A and B are shown apart, each in its own frame.
Chain A
Amino acid sequence: MATQLDPLSLGLVLAVLGMGGTLLTLFVLSLIADLLKRLFPFAVPSPESQVPSQGAEGALGAQNSEPEAR
């Protein structure tokens, strides 16, 4: 097929498919990212349920929570 296209037509085909394809794919990925955020929302652990954790939530939860009064 490519041999039948002149350089300008080939360039236009690649540009349209390339730009459109990239935009569409990233749009789909952004929807997936949005869906993941909704399905697995960030939860700040309550002070009672806090255990030492290396995960992002654990670290942030520890930062955001008030120190326990002892």
Chain B
Amino acid sequence: MDRAIAAGLGGLAAGFASLTVQEAVMIAVGCVLLYLAIGRGLEPLLLLPIGFGAILVNIPGAGLMAPGGVLRVIYDAGVLTELFPVLIFIGIGAMTDFGPLLENPRILLLGAAGQFGIFLVLLLALALGFPPLQAISIGIIGAMDGPTAIYVSSKYAPELLGAISVAAYSYMSLVPLIQPPIMRALTTHDEKTIVMPAVRATVSRRTKILFPIIVTIIGSIIAPQGTPLLGTIMLGNLLREAGVVERLASMSANELTNIVTLLLGISIGATMEGSRFLTLQTLTIFALGFVAICLDTVSGVLFGKLMCALTRGKINPLIGAAGISAFPMAARVVQTMGQRYNRRNYLLMHAMGANTGGQLGSVMAAAIMLSVITGLGLG
């Protein structure tokens, strides 16, 4: 009897006995992510399930990521198949209003400039010795778009998925802290105070319906490898703008996105096993991700200055900073800074246009990257 009690107690203590330092650290990291999500409100929809997933996967003996484990099943079904990111894109499309962008289509170019960080960090990662496919996946953090980063890294560097996803979502939530110093440094006082006229709602319903259809056809023909990304975001947007499938649009923007976000977050957290996550490589990825968002902001603002010069001062260069995919944080940052220097200046809708251009730009940049590497025989 005594022996049986001792054996039973041994079973209860086995978890503590086999807990490694790395697992303990990762459980702490998971708790920090939960704190950032709950206590600070930073990207809670993703960081909360990611943090909890990180805790779950580092419980010794639980085997949640072992073959047949519940997290392994979810991961294999939704991440390895690239299903979750594309489903989320349907929801993003259903939530995105391209109206402000269509008011002034030329600001779509800011959405291109806001992606240059991807390619510059890709160069940097290659210079640091990362293999090409890993470097591409790291560079895509610069898209500042979680589903895009997850799609590309799950395709080409699944071993880096956890680090890349956490870096992408963390830096997206830190946009209000990272961007303003760069915007201040790169623009003059006169440029900051340029007043842009109010956006008027002058886009016809027919234009809004045709835009996602034509973008899908043209964009997919240019970069066929990106069709899953571009096609799904535009499908979601068409559901929204068509006006005849409100149930589907509402479901995509709410139920579908919510369910997939939860499963995707847990799956990402499940990739953060201590033995694989706590490496110098992870820290390097975080550093490169930071450089990527800084370079995105720099290139966006510099392109904004170029457009300002070409239009003889009609475009406030600050809106260039919103040419990234972090929606709507980047647009809010631009509005806040514009008002700080000129209280009569309302840049929000212009910045929203650039921001939706950034969403489209990040998808196109990833699509072009995927097609180029396929053409080079890398993918």
Contacts and interface: CB of A to CB of B under 8 A. Distances in A.
A47 interface: no
B204 A14 contact: no
Contacts, number: 145
Interface SS majority for chain B? helix
B211 A36 contact: yes
Contacts of A19: 112, 115-116, 119
A22 B205 contact: no
Given A7-B126, A57-B204, A15 B376 contact: no
B361 interface: yes
B148 to A, nearest CB: 13
B218 A21 contact: no
A2 B377 contact: yes
A13 B205 CA distance: 40
Given A7-B126, A7-B132, A33-B108, A40 B376 contact: no
Interface SS majority for chain A? helix
Contact of A30 (B109, B201, B205): B109
Interface residues of A, number: 40
A40 B207 contact: yes
Interface in B181-224: 201-208, 210-211, 214-215, 218-219, 222-223
B137 to A, nearest CB: 12
A60 B112 CA distance: 31
Given A36-B210, A56-B208, A26 B119 contact: no
Interface of A: 1-3, 5, 7-8, 10-15, 17-19, 21-23, 25-34, 36-37, 39-43, 54-57, 60
Leading 7 A-B pairs by shortest Cβ distance: A33-B105, A11-B123, A15-B119, A21-B368, A30-B105, A30-B108, A11-B126
Given A14-B372, A32-B215, 10 more contacts: A1-B376, A2-B378, A14-B373, A15-B119, A21-B223, A29-B219, A30-B105, A37-B102, A55-B205, A56-B201
